[in-house]
Amino acid sequence: MKNTKAVRVFKSPVVLHFVKDIPSESEVHAKRSMLIASKTIDAIMQKDYPINSFSRRLKVKQAEFNQWLSGTHEFTPQQLEQLNRILAIEFD
């Protein structure tokens, strides 16, 4: 016969108060992606680059570049470096 015990769930109001304020990993990534997209759009507009043709300069398809600007794209280090090199913007 198996000895099975129910798992005890412990809910401390103090712990729950602090845990609810910790952003999930996906929230952190989403905020970072949106910040990068916002900085990119601002830099493109500041330098008077036409947004529609800027994707050619990056050597990516327009649809992919639109995803970058939507704030939902997971940027690779190479993409960040490419944007930094062309637009002279820093991503913290």
Are 69 and 62 a contacting pair, CB within 8 Å? Answer: no
Domain count, the chain: 1
| Domain assignment present for 31 | no
More confident residue, 25 or 88: 88
The domain of 84 spans 52-92
From its phi and psi, is residue 48 left (phi > 0), alpha (psi between -120 and 50) or beta?
A: left
Query: Diameter of the chain by CA atoms?
Result: 75
Threshold 0.95, pTM exceeds: no
Give the pLDDT confidence score for residue 80 in this predicted structure.
92
Give the pLDDT confidence score for residue 1 in this predicted structure.
55
| Domain assignment present for 47 | no
| Domain assignment present for 63 | yes
Q: What are the pLDDT digits (tens) for 2-36?
A: 666 665 666 777 767 766 777 777 778 888 888 99
Distance of alpha carbon 60 from alpha carbon 82, whole angstroms: 11
Q: What are the pLDDT digits (tens) for 46-84?
A: 999 888 788 888 899 999 999 988 888 888 999 999 999
| Domain assignment present for 57 | yes
| Domain assignment present for 11 | no
| Domain assignment present for 23 | no
CB-based contacts of 84-88 (< 8 A; 24+ apart in sequence): 86/57, 86/58, 87/40, 87/43, 87/44, 87/47, 88/43
Type of residue at 88: A
| Domain assignment present for 90 | yes
| Domain assignment present for 83 | yes
Give the pLDDT confidence score for residue 25 in this predicted structure.
79
